[in-house]
Structure 1
Amino acid sequence: MANFLIEDVTKSFTNGEVEEQILKGVNLTLKEGEITALVGPSGSGKSTILTIAAGLQKASNGKILFETKDMTKMSQEEIREVRATEFGFVFQSSHLVPFLTVEEQLLLMLDVSESKLSKREQVKEVEKILKLVEMNHRKDAYPASLSGGERQRIAIARAIIHQPKILFADEPTASLDTKRSKDVMELLRELTKTLNLTTLMVTHDEEMLPYSDRIITMRDGYIVGE
């Protein structure tokens, strides 16, 4: 089932007196339970389309439809609420808070997403998610004591703790070696299927593409292949 549509999206920047068009009419349908990978050379527009879809920057024209709601017509406050409650984010760097334990990282995310769970229920939810990503044995650890792969697993746990519908992953394995990259991608694929997430991923690593359900190739601001 499709729950996220990108329709005729363009994006332009003004560089002095010259207008530079980064996206030139992108159309893309994202489906539940699928990982869609965006690939292409640097400057092709793949990261731009991800940040626009995530509400981190505005499109110049076009529509971003999330469950029939047009995000391009939302106020900044409405977009922030959608990001906090319906979207999850995984980046190249884990961006964990250095002075918080693993458990505290996830509890903080529940607070940010304005969880309606009681404190006891939140602790149980954290335990459940940590078991899901096989990191419950590290719940009292601080980020400095975790390996790169462990930090990325915690970042993924933090991204899904509030039960989002859409997961945005921007180069999620770029800072990892091959083995840890494959472990992270196996986890992302399993979670996408198990939790019925709609996952949009930008990657430059061709070895990660077999874990995706769809591969969208971009070049010069266009989608040129699937």
Structure 2
Amino acid sequence: MSAFTIDEVKKTFTNGEIEEEILKGVNLTLKEGEITALVGPSGSGKSTILTIAAGLQSASGGEIIFEGKDMTKMSQEDIRHIRATDFGFVFQSSHLVPFLTVEEQLQLMLEVSETKTSKKEQSKAIEEILKLVDMEHRKDAYPSSLSGGERQRVAIARAIIHRPKILFADEPTASLDTKRSKDVMELLQELTRTLHLTTLMVTHDEEMLPYADRIITMRDGYIVE
């Protein structure tokens, strides 16, 4: 099932009198239950297309269709609401709040995601997600006592605690060693399928590509493969 469509998306940056075209008409359809990996050299435009798709920056042209609506025509408030309710984000760094426990990290996410649930429902949701990422035994731990792999597992739990439809992952394994990277990718693969997520991932690590359902290569602002 098609969940998200990027149609002829362009992006131009202006530096003084010089215009630089970063994206030159990108077309991409993302499907539910699949991981789509964007690869390519630095400057190819892969991170730009991810941030535009996620509503973190605007396109210069084209359409971003989510649930039948063009996000490029939405107000900033409507886009903010979609990011809070329907999108999840995992980055290279876990960006955990240092003075919050694992459980508190997830409680905070439920609050900012505008999820209208009771405290009892929140506790149940946190318990279920921590089991999914195999971190329930660390719910009272602070980030400083977690390994890099554990921190990224918590970051993934935080990204999906509100049950988003689209998951954006920007270099999710770049700060991890090979074993922990594979553990994280196995987790992302399992969650994408079992929770019917639509996952768009940017990566430089070719060893992570076998975990993707589709691999899209970008170069000079185009999809080339």
| Superposition TM-score, scaled by structure 2 size | 1.00
**1:12-39 deviation digits (Å, cap 9, x = unpaired):** 0011211100000000000000000000
Aligned to 1:161: 161
Runs of 4+ more than 3 Å apart: none
Aligned to 2:208: 208
Aligned CA-pair RMSD: 0.4
What are the equivalent positions in structure 2 for 1:174-213 lying under 5 Å apart?
Answer: 174-213=174-213
SS in 2 for 1:169: strand
**1:129-179 deviation digits (Å, cap 9, x = unpaired):** 000000000000000000000000000000000000000000000000000
| Whole-Å separation in 2 of the counterparts to 1:172 and 1:210 | 15
**1:38-73 deviation digits (Å, cap 9, x = unpaired):** 000000000000000000000000000001110000
In the TM superposition, residue 114 of structure 1 has moved relative to its aligned partner by 1.4
| Whole-Å separation in 1 of the counterparts to 2:121 and 2:23 | 44
What are the equivalent positions in structure 2 for 1:35-184 lying under 5 Å apart?
Answer: 35-184=35-184
Moved more, 50-59 or 111-120: 111-120
How many residue pairs are counted as aligned between the two chains? Answer: 225
Matched, 1:13 2:13: yes
| Whole-Å separation in 2 of the counterparts to 1:199 and 1:213 | 10
In the TM superposition, residue 113 of structure 1 has moved relative to its aligned partner by 1.0
| Whole-Å separation in 1 of the counterparts to 2:140 and 2:36 | 34
What is the letter of the counterpart of residue 11 of structure 2? K
What is the letter of the counterpart of residue 208 of structure 2? M
Aligned to 2:223: 223
| Whole-Å separation in 2 of the counterparts to 1:6 and 1:22 | 15
| Whole-Å separation in 2 of the counterparts to 1:148 and 1:116 | 31
In the TM superposition, residue 100 of structure 1 has moved relative to its aligned partner by 0.3
SS in 1 for 2:224: strand
In the TM superposition, residue 121 of structure 1 has moved relative to its aligned partner by 1.1
**1:179-218 deviation digits (Å, cap 9, x = unpaired):** 0000000000000000000000000000000000000000
In the TM superposition, residue 117 of structure 1 has moved relative to its aligned partner by 1.2
| Whole-Å separation in 2 of the counterparts to 1:163 and 1:117 | 13
Identity of aligned residues (%): 84
Structure 1 spans left out of the alignment, 5+ residues: none
| Whole-Å separation in 2 of the counterparts to 1:3 and 1:211 | 20
Moved more, 116-125 or 79-88: 116-125
What is the letter of the counterpart of residue 7 of structure 2? E
| Whole-Å separation in 2 of the counterparts to 1:190 and 1:58 | 31
| Whole-Å separation in 2 of the counterparts to 1:101 and 1:80 | 26
What is the letter of the counterpart of residue 45 of structure 1? G
SS in 2 for 1:89: strand
